[in-house]
Chains A and B, each alone.
Chain A
Amino acid sequence: MALSRMDNLYRQVILDHSDNPHHHGELSDKTNDIELKNPTCGDVLKLDLKVEDGKIEDAAFSGYGCTISQASASMMTDAVIGKTTEQAENMVQTFSSMIIGDDVDTDVLEDAATLEGVSKFPARIKCATLAWKALHKALNK
């Protein structure tokens, strides 16, 4: 049946991240933070970053959203902790390209690369990009 197509969207690793999100919560020693809303669905994502000497030392997210947006935030925080802000910005670019179906090398994204299948579900692209947009905005705040 056609529901089986969803396997490409909701891969096991994505469901795992959504069920048990990593770095969920808030940072008491944050240096940057942002709250982003997705006006079409009412989802809210709050992202805290601790940036020191141009490096993301820690990250945490909270809020409310769908499986894709929660998993994406979990995987994004996993991937960017320990990276320089420059590396993180490059990852934002890589993710943005991947999610619209461009052929890019996604190794740097770690688990977040498994969201590649979202490109086949145009209505859900915003869910996947919310966390990365938040990262970009928080870094430039």
Chain B
Amino acid sequence: MDNNDFPILHQKVNDEDLVYLDNAATTQKPKAVIEAMEKFYYEDNANVHRGVHTLAERSTEMFEAAREKIRAFINAKSSKEIIYTKGTTDSLNMIAQSYGENVHEGDEIVISILEHHSNLIPWQQLAIKKNAKLKYINLTDDGELDMKQAEELITDKTKIVSVAHVSNVLGVISPVKKLAELAHKHGAVMVVDGAQSTPHMPIDVQDLDCDFFAFSGHKMLAETGIGVLYGKEELLNEMTPVEYGGEMIEFVKKYETTWNELPWKFEAGTPNIAGAISLGYAIDYLNGVGMQKIADYEQQIVSYVLPKLLAIDDLEVYGPTDPKKHTAVISFNLKGLHPHDLATGLDMEGVAVRAGHHCAQPLMTYLGLSATARASFYFYNSLEDADKLVDAIIATKEFFKDGTI
């Protein structure tokens, strides 16, 4: 696919053409989004929902239009179900704090061992606070969620099931629709961490039948500091706000307050207006490309690069070896070399990857690793980028071999 809309990708780092493969961390922004943000600040900026003046009306309209675009993008029933947050982490914390009030002593929360810390610590701390039990779904040998175990773990004691739609380390897709069915059968709610899925595939929250769904704008072409919490309207209506302040009120008296209606009940204070609008433009851009086309194209990249990586001697690749079970997030290590050394080598060749524990320390411990290198593609990457990754890994391997032996 074309990457001419992404100016940042056309530069040299360390004398080599940049190959940006850190998209699971954050994505680059197309000109359309950058220019729309510039235009917003040049022409339209004002606080939302407050003023009667023209600019305030204009920015409010843009802010709410973006919410409607987001609703359509994930096929929520109503834009009341779309709450602006700072990002996935913020969204998940909000659910744990607010819906978490329904969890009591002896109740159980089920998550999986491959969770990002942002979908782990909120539940772990909630369990500690409420004297509830936190249970983990483990993985099969191929790195997929062990659904047999999930069926045993999710019981009538379960109040919340929360799982990543796509692992930010292994790239494996979780059967969240199936998990939602299981959760509902036992009267629990299903929370989906969609940070790594929403940018890469069509999302239909009604089809998944999840109760909550969280994702971030910056991983899908928008600015940082904007994210979304989707929740079913009837659940959000029953929940209490997490933050108090401006915007989220209906009427404030000296000793009591009534809340604004959804979604504003959960949006205290001046929101990230430009961020929300940027997410609207990012969605326009993604719709222009087509989400199914993006998913298909990334599948093509995985099918191309995964066998090549698996064929490199001394390269350990984690997660499913079947490309069909993989999104374009691939973690690996060169035997005998720390991933930071590998990542520095790749950087010298112009290839940007992440190295570390990827905010998933329990998964690292479970896999017996302390860190991995991770390449993550987006639709603006090419098969040539995949070749450059493979070549750079081999060159780095040779460098350390020659240097040490």
Contact = CB atoms under 8 A, between A and B. Distances in A.
Contact of B15 (A2, A15, A19): A2
Interface stretch (B76-84, B187-195, B341-349): B341-349
A65 interface: yes
Interface string B372-405: 0000000000000000000010011001100110
B372 to A, nearest CB: 10
Interface in A36-56: 40-44
Given A2-B15, A5-B14, A6-B348, A15 B404 contact: yes
B349 A41 contact: no
Interface string A43-74: 11000000000000000000011111000000
B16 interface: yes
A68 B339 CA distance: 12
A93 interface: no
Contacts of B392: 3
Interface string A121-132: 101100100000
A3 B341 contact: no
Interface in A63-95: 64-68
Given A9-B344, A15-B403, A67-B341, A41 B350 contact: no
Interface in B247-276: none
Contacts of B14: 2, 5
Interface size class of B (residues with CB under 8 A): 20 to 34
A15 B15 CA distance: 25
A66 B347 CA distance: 16
A2 B350 contact: yes
A1 interface: yes
A124 B364 CA distance: 21
The interface centre, meaning the residue of A9, A41, A44 with most chain B CB atoms within 10 A of its CB, is A41
B344 A123 contact: yes
B29 to A, nearest CB: 23
A124 B344 contact: yes
Interface string A103-120: 000000000000000000
A124 B340 contact: yes
Interface residues of A, number: 25
Interface string A13-41: 00100110000000000000000000011
Contacts of B361: 42
Contacts of B338: 65-67
Contact of B403 (A1, A10, A127): A10
B400 A10 contact: yes
A2 B16 CA distance: 7
B371 interface: yes
Contacts of B15: 2
B357 interface: yes
B337 interface: yes
B370 interface: yes
Interface in B324-376: 337-341, 344-345, 347-350, 355-357, 361, 364, 370-371
Contacts of A127: 340
Nearest to A39: B357
7 contacts: A2-B350, A3-B395, A42-B356, A42-B357, A43-B371, A64-B370, A67-B341
Interface of B: 14-16, 337-341, 344-345, 347-350, 355-357, 361, 364, 370-371, 392, 395-396, 399-400, 403-404
Interface of A: 1-3, 5-6, 9-10, 12, 15, 18-19, 40-44, 64-68, 121, 123-124, 127
A-B complex: 5 closest residue pairs judged by Cβ atoms: A66-B338, A42-B357, A66-B340, A2-B14, A41-B356
